[in-house]
A and B are shown apart, each in its own frame.
Chain A
Amino acid sequence: MLALEFPPISHLFEWKDLFFKGNEYFAFNKVALLCVISALLVMAFFLAASRKQALVPTGVQNVGEMAYGVVEDNIVVEVMGEKGRPWTPFLASLFFYILFLNLWEIFPFIQFPPTSRMAIPLFLALQTWVIYLVVGFKHQGLGYIKNSLFPPGVPAALYLLVTPIEFVSVFIMRPFSLAVRLFANLMAGHILLVVFFVLAAALWSKTPLIIIWPLPVLVGIALTGFELMVAVIQAYIFTMLTAVYVSDSMEAHH
Chain B
Amino acid sequence: MEFLLAETAANELVDGLSAIGAGIGYGFAAIGPGLGIGYLVGSAVQAMARQPEAAGMVRTTMFLGIAFTEALALIGFVVFILIKFA
**Interface pair A177/B60, CB less than 8 Å apart:** no
Contact of B67 among A181, A183, A187 (CB under 8 A): A181
Interface range, A side: 10 to 19
A residues near B67, Cβ cutoff 8 Å = 181, 237, 240-241
Contact of A184 among B63, B66, B68, B74 (CB under 8 A): B74
Give CA–CA (A177, B76) in the complex, Å: 12
**Interface pair B64/A184, CB less than 8 Å apart:** no
**Interface pair B71/A79, CB less than 8 Å apart:** no
**Interface pair A240/B60, CB less than 8 Å apart:** yes
Interface range, B side: 10 to 19
| Smallest CB separation, B17 vs chain A (Å) | 19
Tell me if B81 is interfacial: C-beta within 8 Å of chain A. Answer: yes
| Smallest CB separation, B41 vs chain A (Å) | 13
| Smallest CB separation, B70 vs chain A (Å) | 7
B residues near A241, Cβ cutoff 8 Å = 64, 67
A residues near B75, Cβ cutoff 8 Å = 177, 180, 184
Contact of B70 among A78, A79, A181, A236 (CB under 8 A): A181
**Interface pair A184/B60, CB less than 8 Å apart:** no
| Smallest CB separation, B29 vs chain A (Å) | 11
Residues of B contacting A: mostly: helix
Q: With contacts A78-B57, A177-B71, A181-B71 known, is A240 near B81, CB below 8 A? A: no
**Interface pair B63/A240, CB less than 8 Å apart:** yes
A residues near B81, Cβ cutoff 8 Å = 9, 187
A residues near B66, Cβ cutoff 8 Å = 237
Give CA–CA (A233, B66) in the complex, Å: 11
A residues near B78, Cβ cutoff 8 Å = 180, 183-184
Q: Which of chain B's residues has its CB closest to A78's CB? A: B60
Tell me if A145 is interfacial: C-beta within 8 Å of chain B. Answer: no
**Interface pair B64/A185, CB less than 8 Å apart:** no
**Interface pair B77/A184, CB less than 8 Å apart:** yes
CB-based closest 7 A-B pairs: A184-B74, A177-B71, A9-B85, A237-B67, A78-B60, A184-B77, A184-B78
Chain B interface (Cβ < 8 Å from any Cβ of A): 56-57, 60, 63-64, 66-68, 70-71, 74-75, 77-78, 81, 85
Chain A interface (Cβ < 8 Å from any Cβ of B): 9-10, 74, 78-79, 177, 180-181, 183-185, 187-188, 233, 236-237, 240-241, 244
A180-B75, A185-B74, A187-B81 given; 11 more Cβ-contact pairs under 8 Å: A9-B81, A9-B85, A10-B85, A78-B57, A78-B60, A181-B67, A181-B74, A183-B78, A184-B78, A188-B77, A240-B64
